[in-house]
């Protein structure tokens, strides 16, 4: 019998295989589905876009999400390559280290393995597990597209407004609040639940599971 985790991973893989977005460097599954999810858990997606294409990519995925009515899909962490390089190069010990190692790749696995090895903490942990670094793919960045800025203005505003409404609803229902952090180079949800998980993680010895 197919487990909840396997089914949710399969559904995400099938969705991205169907839409075939072209501006991504990496697509992966993060959050609870990369561990042991409950039936009601969203499928959190980690997107890394080519430089100057982040918000076009987000817009593409959101449009197809609506077309295919894939309501369980959540773009919880999105960034472009430049931001990702800096993010993992500066990554400190936190639950984000553990979560990065647990990400389930859908596409761009070779690139992602190389990227996370920029973190000295992740590199040390993976080397201890016998993993090997992989060279990064090299390609020329696409030129800036005015549509990228327009997508940023409209999509970021829509995501932020929706997040504010949802966060207020969550508070009324006794659930944790959250807010959206975004710029031209990144977009992610800063949730109270994740902050608590990180505090608990930092209070214990960090180990790979």
Residue 131 makes CB contacts below 8 A (sequence gap 6+) with 113
147: nearest Cα among 60, 86, 81: 60
Sheet holding 186-191, edge to edge: 104-107, 24-30, 43-49, 73-80, 186-191, 178-182
Q: Token pair of 152, please?
A: 């940023």
- Over residues 144-164, the pLDDT tens digits come to 789 999 999 999 999 999 888
Q: Are 83 and 50 in contact (CB under 8 A)?
A: no
> What span, in angstroms and rounded, lies between the C-alpha atoms of 116 and 152?
26
- Over residues 81-120, the pLDDT tens digits come to 999 999 999 998 889 999 999 999 999 999 999 999 999 9
**172-193 mean pLDDT:** 85
Whole-number pLDDT of residue 121: 92
Beta bridge partners of 190: 179
**pTM exceeds cut of 0.85:** yes
Domains with residue ranges and CATH for the chain: 4-202 (3.30.460.10)
């Amino acid at each position: 019998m197919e487990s909840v985790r396997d089914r949710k991973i399969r559904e995400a893989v099938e969705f991205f295989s169907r839409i075939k977005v072209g501006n991504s460097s990496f697509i992966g599954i993060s959050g609870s589905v990369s561990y042991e999810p409950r039936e009601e858990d969203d499928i959190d997606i980690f997107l890394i876009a080519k430089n100057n294409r982040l918000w076009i990519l987000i817009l593409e995925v959101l449009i197809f999400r609506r077309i295919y009515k894939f309501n369980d899909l959540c773009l919880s962490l999105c960034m472009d390559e430049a931001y990702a390089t800096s993010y993992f190069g500066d990554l400190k010990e936190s639950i984000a280290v553990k979560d990065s190692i647990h990400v389930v790749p859908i596409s761009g696995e070779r690139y992602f393995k190389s990227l996370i090895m920029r973190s000295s903490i992740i590199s040390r942990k993976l080397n201890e597990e016998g993993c090997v670094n992989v060279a990064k793919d090299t390609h020329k960045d696409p030129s800036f597209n005015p549509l990228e800025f327009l997508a940023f203005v409209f999509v970021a505003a829509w995501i932020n407004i929706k997040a504010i409404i949802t966060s207020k609803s969550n508070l009324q229902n006794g659930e944790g609040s959250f807010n959206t952090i975004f710029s031209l180079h990144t977009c992610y949800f800063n949730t109270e639940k994740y902050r608590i998980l990180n505090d608990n993680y930092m209070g214990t010895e960090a180990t790979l599971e």
